[in-house]
Amino acid sequence: MNIKMFDKWKLATGKVMCSDFGITGSGFFIGNKFFITNNHVVTRMSIDETGAIRLDYSKQIFVKTAGGTYDATLVIDENSDPPVVYDYAILKLDVTPQAYFDVADISGISQGEEVIAIGYPLDFDEPIVSSGVISAIISRPSHINTLHLIRTFLTDTLITYGNSGGPLVRAIDGTVIGITTMPHEIRDETRERLLKYINLPGMEIKPPIRDLIDFVVRYVTVGFNYAVSIKYVINDPVFKSLKGGD
């Protein structure tokens, strides 16, 4: 690993901005055709009165890269479930990237391997790099639907709000193994109680206390974070069909 590799990785990463939803996240180029991010970065979810999940895709997606800011077009089928369940989106930008990531051979990934995350967390306007190891390779329930399990890399690499959609990269060769997604939440009785308190109808909580609870629930994590396996992207029929030609 050297400085030139970092420079290349930063060129292959971008900031995703959905101006109609007011959401920002991260993303990255795979090959010179596709830009990948998390599905939850480009969608807005609601649950209707029958319990059905409704998703709206952003119609105003922009990606800021080192070369400029570009319109992005969604190329996955908006009615397809796998991108939603496995939390990925495939975009196309009208630009040839200055650099891109190759996809790792997922079967060769080992627990303990050094990995690097790149993204645009919090209010940073430039790519931020963090590093760690693969703490475990796990299956966890989908964020959207508990029926499905997602193959996920658990890592101690710093991943926080805004990192969503960025690449998790093998340090040894710079190939991408996953899409950085979210922190592993602390699930214990105290957290559950705090969440219950602020959502109780009629509960009077003074605004500073409500803000404090919100802040604690949002930002206090144990330090483990998730990256969804990149295998879901490369198995997507749209990715497969467009990869061969254009």
In this structure, are strands 176-183 and 34-37 parallel, antiparallel, or unpaired? Answer: unpaired
List, in order, residues 6 or more apart from 92 with CB less than 8 Å away.
Answer: 33, 34, 35, 72, 73, 75
Residue type, 226: Y
Kindly state whether residue 149 participates in binding other proteins, applying the rule CB under 8 A: yes
For residues 173 and 192, which CB has a smaller minimum distance to other proteins in the complex?
192
Residue 73 or 235 with smaller CB distance to other proteins = 235
Q: If you compute the radius of gyration of the chain from its CA atoms, what whole number of angstroms results?
A: 18
Residues 170-209 that bind other proteins (CB under 8 A): none
Q: Exactly one of 19, 32, 111, 145 binds other proteins (CB under 8 A); which one?
A: 145
Is residue 56 within the footprint of other proteins (CB under 8 A)? no
Binding of other proteins at residue 51 (CB under 8 A)? yes
* Contact predicate 78/61, CB 8 Å: no
The answer to the question of residue 146 lying near other proteins (CB under 8 A) is yes
Least distance to other proteins from the beta carbon of 59, Å?
A: 21
From 52, 94, 204, 206, residue interacting with other proteins (rule: CB under 8 A): 52
Number of residues interacting with other proteins: please give it, by CB under 8 A: 16
The region of 16-24, 130-138, 142-150, 238-246 touching other proteins under the rule CB under 8 A is 142-150
- Provide the β-strand partners of residue 244: none
Please give the span between the terminal C-alpha atoms of the chain, in angstroms, as a whole number: 33
The yes or no reply on residue 85 touching other proteins (CB under 8 A) is: yes
Cβ proximity of 178 and 123 under 8 Å = no
| CA distance linking residue 23 with residue 161, whole number of Å | 11
140 binds other proteins (CB under 8 A): no
What minimum distance in Å lies between the beta carbon of 51 and other proteins?
5
Rounded CA separation 27/130 (Å): 15
Site of interaction with other proteins (CB under 8 A): 47, 51-53, 81-82, 84-85, 139, 141, 144-149
